[in-house]
Structure 1
């Protein structure tokens, strides 16, 4: 696959022509091949005696090719297979998956929780997956192999690698200092809900220098200046992230105030996204850097933010892709990437840019990429429903209210701040005893007080408790002040709900507003959290473990 997204093949070509177009992924089998188009559809070519080249409709993020069957990960994280199914190799079990691999007569999938499941032919034991957490999986004719989260390789079945290497990932996992029992290890992707932060993450303390380039298109020309585009947004980014870090992160934005005209219409740069629609991605950051490079000095820049006209586009995205400039590599994020209609003028996008920058710092999305998992509540009688998103990464709750609407209570979650190194060990209470009482200072301004209590549930799961006040970036966003309780499963990936509010039935619909007031309690996995007092500044809570907890 070339850098422009086209495909070239060489060797002995069988039965079929290479499709034209632009692609984002490719897989090659013995007699057929498949590729994911930039819009998310799959195109296959070659032998089709069992239907292995007859790809289903839909939008996909990854594809794998076996002897006479194929499998792909759909954008809702399900696996779909087609072609030969004589040994069950095309019958993927339900679930949420990050990746898929296909052998001759069996298939394997890496689930969102980090384990591997295989199906199909098991004559040599190639389905007998060992327990544990993995970050990648592959399958061959008679065996399968997985790359564990600690960087070691393990194989099963008639393994051709009897003693797999142990140095696939160079460098040991960094030790978790301090409160290790409450610092759950997370996925080893570009983003995580756990510890440590990914190696690809930008530094979350000190000075972060971000170049800002403004790019429009021949068929979407900005009708105003870049100063108008940046008004209100750039200042929000700096203020929000510096306040969220309690001053530990200094954001230095370097805008290049002129519109850079892309060579092609915006349609040329579209790519299927994890949200099921098309966004501006393909090659636009590289092109923007090339256009700007003669006049813009990227020396010392850590990240490149590309901003499109908000009168035509909204939303954002980041694959944490690194590109080359004349002065060196920079990491990228894209702002205003989804086509929108009917906007009369420039819009505020500072919250979107802050969200994408936090991705570059290593944190995962907390809202579901599959919108069906959090569908809006159906109105009933005289009740209206209010959607609140807690924190910039989108921890969601639908609850009844006197008014319908939406609020971003974007004051950053305490857990996220701890991940980023913005809370000290002394500001965290890790609770391992059967009963404990803790006084919580407001997360927006904890001072020297306790900002968060944590209760470890397993090696990957923890309960988090924090106090939310109508302070900082929660001002005017809360229906009521109170204590927020949520769970973290650090081995669940971005967009697959690694965090959930306590009491979430699975669809984020609550009978009451999720912030607990005095006298209220919630029980999670055998632990009951009760709010004892509220003095207007701090909340005192008691955590009690039941006899079976």
Structure 2
């Protein structure tokens, strides 16, 4: 837990020199991070893909030690930044309620209670030295402007925040300041860690959302803090569909998704599923009982099998999981067995996961889905699907009274 905290969740025990905080500020990088040390994952199974040098690689055999692993309580400080060209019209408590407890509850459900994100919001605004328009805030932010913003923000907050007490740092800008662009919200990584209060700051979540913000936006950005990739497809011209890879089926694809629970593969990577809950499928025909991903396990239980995996090559696999209307998926409009392809060498935003559409000729939920062609991707009871380009057939044979799906896989 944070040390020497006031009720406002910030440390005011001492004023620290800003000079030490600014070390390495010139080493900013928006989307890349030097690979961290490998940490053995005792839950790895024979079908686990290896972690590669790709940004946010979905290899699950080891953990990238440059990122905090969400298997315990992690403490997050939320710092609110104001600017001299605008007087905030929204209070910090109101902005806090935009994100918490909703974000903590999202991760509590997704992790089956194995992880707790504890928020520690500041109670008052921290003034920035420059007008909001001075930093050039936008989605594809010039490195110089981004560096100046973070340099000023860290220095301004350092007198009141003991950064060594926290695992996650959120900088929340006044949403109504004239130079603030909500499209600029992202995690900024550092090629070399910042040193502040005797600790390394490897990344900071910069929040520029409108009030109220997009649904689940902070859960998406926090996922990057835990080494999860973007699953959306960004068109080269910025036009067209962004959600062609995974549609509604994971918050790392879209914060607006109807079924935003993290894929079982992501939960395996994060340590929320162990090897006993992952079936590694071998050649031949086998039966698997898959519990819906969003269904909470019984008290004292593991929740049963949540994922079946068929290796298709050194760096690729087919994943099979069940999705139902429970937990984070409570707003879904379809249920069934979802099939997707995983590639460990695909970088964030490059399609590391692609949902395979079991009903390519139809779509569903056009009034609510972010991408209706994939809204009806899951297989229903009695349906069979052959994976394109692979000798893999998946049949949903039955659904038990508890809601689990009996799935027959032939390879």
Corresponding position: 1:490 with 2:344:
yes
Corresponding position: 1:480 with 2:321:
no
- How far is 1:186 from its partner? 3.0
Q: Contact between 1:202 and 1:302, CA under 8 Å: does it hold in 2?
A: yes
Corresponding position: 1:469 with 2:324:
yes
CA distance in 1 between counterparts of 2:239 and 2:280 reads 31
Corresponding position: 1:451 with 2:293:
no
Q: Deviations over 1:428-451 (max 9, x none)?
A: 111013211101111112523111
- Identify the residue that residue 389 of structure 1 maps to in structure 2: 248
Work out the number of aligned pairs and report it: 360
- Structure 1 or 2: more helix by fraction: 2
- How far is 1:178 from its partner? 5.2
CA distance in 2 between counterparts of 1:511 and 1:424 reads 28
Corresponding position: 1:413 with 2:268:
no
- Identify the residue that residue 102 of structure 1 maps to in structure 2: none
Corresponding position: 1:325 with 2:196:
yes
SS in 2 for 1:239: helix
Structure 1 vs Structure 2 CA RMSD = 3.5
1:521 aligned to 374, 377, 384, which one? Answer: 384
CA distance in 1 between counterparts of 2:238 and 2:336 reads 26
Corresponding position: 1:284 with 2:177:
no
CA distance in 1 between counterparts of 2:374 and 2:127 reads 50
- How far is 1:247 from its partner? 1.6
- How far is 1:457 from its partner? 0.8
Q: Deviations over 1:344-368 (max 9, x none)?
A: xx21356222211111111111112
- Identify the residue that residue 541 of structure 1 maps to in structure 2: 407
- How far is 1:542 from its partner? 0.9
- What is the correspondence of 1:8-27 to structure 2 with a 5 Å cutoff? none
Q: Deviations over 1:500-523 (max 9, x none)?
A: 011498xx7738710111122222
- Identify the residue that residue 92 of structure 2 maps to in structure 1: 226
| Shift in CA distance, 369/388, structure 1 to aligned 2, threshold 3 Å | closer
SS in 2 for 1:348: coil
Q: Contact between 2:39 and 2:65, CA under 8 Å: does it hold in 1?
A: no
SS in 2 for 1:392: coil
Q: Contact between 2:280 and 2:309, CA under 8 Å: does it hold in 1?
A: yes
CA distance in 2 between counterparts of 1:319 and 1:395 reads 19
CA distance in 2 between counterparts of 1:347 and 1:408 reads 19
CA distance in 1 between counterparts of 2:234 and 2:334 reads 28
- What is the correspondence of 1:290-369 to structure 2 with a 5 Å cutoff? 290-311=155-176, 313-315=181-183, 316-321=185-190, 322-337=193-208, 346-349=211-214, 351-369=216-234
CA distance in 1 between counterparts of 2:94 and 2:198 reads 29
Q: Contact between 2:250 and 2:257, CA under 8 Å: does it hold in 1?
A: no
Q: Contact between 1:189 and 1:198, CA under 8 Å: does it hold in 2?
A: no
Corresponding position: 1:201 with 2:67:
yes
Q: Kindly name which structure, 1 or 2, has the bigger radius of gyration based on alpha carbons.
A: 1
2:275 aligned to 425, 428, 448, which one? Answer: 425
- How far is 1:328 from its partner? 2.7
Structure 1: where are the runs of 5+ without partners? 6-22, 26-37, 39-60, 62-97, 99-134, 137-148, 150-168, 378-384, 397-405
- How far is 1:309 from its partner? 2.8
| Shift in CA distance, 535/277, structure 1 to aligned 2, threshold 3 Å | farther
CA distance in 1 between counterparts of 2:263 and 2:86 reads 37
CA distance in 2 between counterparts of 1:227 and 1:395 reads 26
Q: Deviations over 1:267-308 (max 9, x none)?
A: 4333675xx577983333342232222223334212211111
SS in 2 for 1:518: coil
2:355 aligned to 492, 495, 501, which one? Answer: 501
| Shift in CA distance, 395/295, structure 1 to aligned 2, threshold 3 Å | closer
SS in 2 for 1:241: helix
CA distance in 2 between counterparts of 1:248 and 1:358 reads 15
SS in 2 for 1:200: coil
| Shift in CA distance, 278/252, structure 1 to aligned 2, threshold 3 Å | same
TM (norm. structure 1) is 0.59
CA distance in 2 between counterparts of 1:512 and 1:200 reads 35
SS in 1 for 2:222: helix
- Identify the residue that residue 32 of structure 1 maps to in structure 2: none
| Shift in CA distance, 374/516, structure 1 to aligned 2, threshold 3 Å | farther
Q: Contact between 2:343 and 2:353, CA under 8 Å: does it hold in 1?
A: yes
CA distance in 2 between counterparts of 1:349 and 1:205 reads 26
CA distance in 1 between counterparts of 2:98 and 2:188 reads 25
Q: Deviations over 1:49-104 (max 9, x none)?
A: xxxxxxxxxxxx9xxxxxxxxxxxxxxxxxxxxxxxxxxxxxxxxxxxx9xxxxxx
Structure 2: where are the runs of 5+ without partners? 1-22, 298-302, 361-370
Q: Deviations over 1:203-247 (max 9, x none)?
A: 221121111101132334421211111124121111111221112
Q: Contact between 1:244 and 1:411, CA under 8 Å: does it hold in 2?
A: yes
